[in-house]
Amino acid sequence: MWNTALDRLLSHLVRQGELRVTFPDGTTRRYGGGDPQVAVRLNAPSLPRRLVLTPQMALGESYMDGELTVEGDDLRGFLDLIVRNAAQNGLPAFQRPADWLRRLGRRLAQFNPAPRSRRNVAHHYDLSGELYDLFLDADRQYSCAYFPRPDMTLDAAQEAKKHHIARKLLIKPGMRVLDIGCGWGGMGLTLARDYGAQVVGVTLSTEQHAMANRRAQEAGLADKVRFELMDYRKVQGPFDRIVSVGMFEHVGVPHYREYFRKVRELLTPEGIALIHTIGRTTPPGATSPWITKYIFPGGYCPSLSETMEAVELSGLGSTDIEVWRLHYAETLKEWHRRFVANEDRARALYDERFCRMWRFYLLASEFTFRHAGQVVFQIQLSPAQEAVPLTRDYLYAPTREGRRKMAAE
């Protein structure tokens, strides 16, 4: 019965490229046709049933546990084929009710009061600091890099991201800047060192908090940058500028209005905020249950429509919205390359199952950006109509001399 149901599912799903599946009873079937060609083996008798009932969860878990093996361990080719076809062909009719129920329950899954937010952050960001050294750039930017040139290194592209954001903030020396979700401190340190800002960064991660303050001390910037272990809802203002990179994904839909009201409360009347977040070009949806369980509990990548509805009720005006499409796919591709090159060290920190989980996470994320409508939004906001120039020309002054001249004006 379940082999038949999985056969129906894969016949509907796979039309571009060929997927060869060996079922637990030893039978092999082919789906789709042409290139690329990928072969997988299902090693557990219960796996066809689980793949039919909970495909996203079962796919990730079965790869982690070795119950699904890919010929040549070509996980990149397999996920490329699966995500591409799923984006093009959608779910078969018999799976749509389960998807609808998952979307219906998303507000409960994303209810993130402060205590739950702290637990969610600790699940991911308080992993061993050595893990992140294995695949991130030297500044530990754990968000989308910016590739204005395709030949850029990851480190150069992450630097370009920080300065592109800084230009959108139009910072002048001495301005007070709040960094919501400051990570390991790279953005705050850049704004203080290169733009003369006085920065307060907040995070819920004890690991990030400790490292960010240590880096500020080592850089001689402790008088300009302060990092606090604090929920953004507890911050007191005002601030001339607010920046948030890769944190809005953890806010949760039930808290969007609260979030933007807080941003408005903290900004001066002429202030500017820049919110950098993963989003979707599709209508509002729900997070993959596998991602929620293993990677980002409480996380969600919003549509622009549901984000801007909350903005419009906050008293903030949108002064610029930029959409980055494949920049994160290229970032994730490089993170995966670096992780695989250092996988022995990751295995020593954790175990084989963790490494398989992390590889699945990085590759599935990359192909979601390539094929399934996931993007990055940079949303510039202000209470004041004239807070930013009338054209976007001011964003393209790439030299340090140009940045300093703009900051002095």
pLDDT tens digits, residue range 262-285?
Answer: 999 999 999 999 999 999 999 998
Name the β-bridge partners of 22: 28, 41
**Domain termination residue (choose one: 76, 104, 132):** 104
Q: Are residues 304 and 389 in the same domain?
A: yes
Contacts of 19 (CB under 8 A, 6+ apart): 10, 30, 31, 32, 38, 39, 40, 78, 81, 82
Q: Are residues 342 and 193 in the same domain?
A: yes
- The tally of domains found in the chain comes to 2
Q: Are residues 81 and 160 in the same domain?
A: no
pLDDT in tens, 345-383: 999 999 999 999 999 999 999 999 999 999 999 999 999
Residues of the chain short of pLDDT 70, as ranges, are 92-118, 120-126, 397-409
Domain that holds residue 90: 2-104
Query: In this structure, is residue 403 part of a structural domain?
Result: yes
Enumerate the H helices of 186-321 as residue ranges: 186-195, 206-218, 256-266, 289-294, 304-312
**Domain termination residue (choose one: 52, 77, 104):** 104
- Tell me the three state secondary structure of residue 235: coil
Q: Are residues 160 and 31 in the same domain?
A: no
Q: How far apart are CA 369 and CA 361, in angstroms?
A: 13
Query: In this structure, is residue 162 part of a structural domain?
Result: yes
Q: Are residues 279 and 207 in the same domain?
A: yes
Query: Is the link from the previous residue into 297 a cis peptide, with omega within 30 of 0?
Result: no
Q: Are residues 222 and 260 in the same domain?
A: yes
Q: Are residues 83 and 204 in the same domain?
A: no
Query: In this structure, is residue 392 part of a structural domain?
Result: yes
**Domain termination residue (choose one: 59, 86, 104):** 104
Find the CATH number of the domain harbouring 281: 3.40.50.150
Q: Provide the pLDDT for residue 407.
A: 46
Q: Are residues 206 and 186 in the same domain?
A: yes
Query: In this structure, is residue 109 part of a structural domain?
Result: no
Q: Are residues 182 and 264 in the same domain?
A: yes
Exposed (0-12), middle (13-18) or buried (19+): which is 93, by Cβ within 10 Å?
Answer: exposed
- Residue 191's closest CA among 164, 156, 211, 210? 164
Q: Are residues 199 and 340 in the same domain?
A: yes
Query: Is the link from the previous residue into 238 a cis peptide, with omega within 30 of 0?
Result: yes
Entry pTM: 0.91
Q: Provide the pLDDT for residue 127.
A: 72
Q: Are residues 86 and 126 in the same domain?
A: no
Per-residue tokens: 10: 């894969």
Query: In this structure, is residue 345 part of a structural domain?
Result: yes
Q: Are residues 168 and 69 in the same domain?
A: no
